């Protein structure tokens, strides 16, 4: 059974070895001229202000989590929508009801976020 995976292990080892060789070549043959600009912190072209240990509002994280949730919703609904018309007639209604329940749960979460005023930035 393990012998079926030997080609995969060979490809992984070859890719890791090739990556290591390329990294070593770039450190050996690449130019090295660091200056103040290259060594400074870069974030969107803005000069860093304050420390990296500042506290963020919980609302920031709630918006980030809701973005991820609705992103995942699209990931699950897109393949369903593409294959929906290929379902047999008996499964179309069942599949549609399941998708509506899925969307309803996400809408309830969004309404909860709106009730808690997560989307309002002060």
- In angstroms and rounded to an integer, the radius of gyration of the C-alpha atoms of the chain is 25
Q: What is the pLDDT of residue 87?
A: 86
Q: What is the pLDDT of residue 13?
A: 97
Q: What is the pLDDT of residue 122?
A: 65
Q: Which long-range contacts (CB under 8 A, 24 or more apart) does 42-49 make?
A: none
Is pTM beyond 0.85? Reply is no
- Domain positions in the chain are 2-39, 58-115
Q: What is the pLDDT of residue 65?
A: 82
CA nearest neighbour of 105 among 80, 82, 72: 72
* DSSP bridge pairs for 43: 46
Q: Which two tokens stand for residue 117?
A: 């005023």
User: Which residue numbers in the chain have pLDDT < 70?
Assistant: 42-48, 52, 121-122
Q: What is the pLDDT of residue 66?
A: 83
Q: What is the pLDDT of residue 9?
A: 96
Q: Scan for tokens 């994280």, then name that residue.
A: 61
Cβ atoms of 69 and 110 within 8 Å: the answer is no
Q: Please name the residue ranges forming H helices in the chain.
A: 6-29, 36-39, 58-83, 89-115
């Amino acid at each position: 059974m393990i012998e079926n995976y030997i080609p995969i292990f060979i490809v992984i080892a070859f890719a890791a070895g090739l990556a290591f060789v390329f990294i070593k070549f770039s450190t050996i043959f690449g130019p090295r001229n660091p200056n103040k600009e290259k060594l400074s912190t870069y974030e969107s072209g803005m000069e860093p202000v304050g420390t990296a240990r500042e506290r963020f509002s919980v609302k920031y994280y709630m918006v980030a989590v809701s973005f991820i949730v609705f992103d995942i919703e699209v990931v699950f609904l897109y393949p369903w929508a593409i294959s929906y018309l290929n379902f047999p007639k008996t499964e179309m209604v069942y599949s549609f009801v399941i998708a509506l329940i899925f969307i309803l749960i996400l809408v309830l979460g969004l309404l909860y976020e709106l009730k808690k005023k997560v989307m309002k930035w002060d």
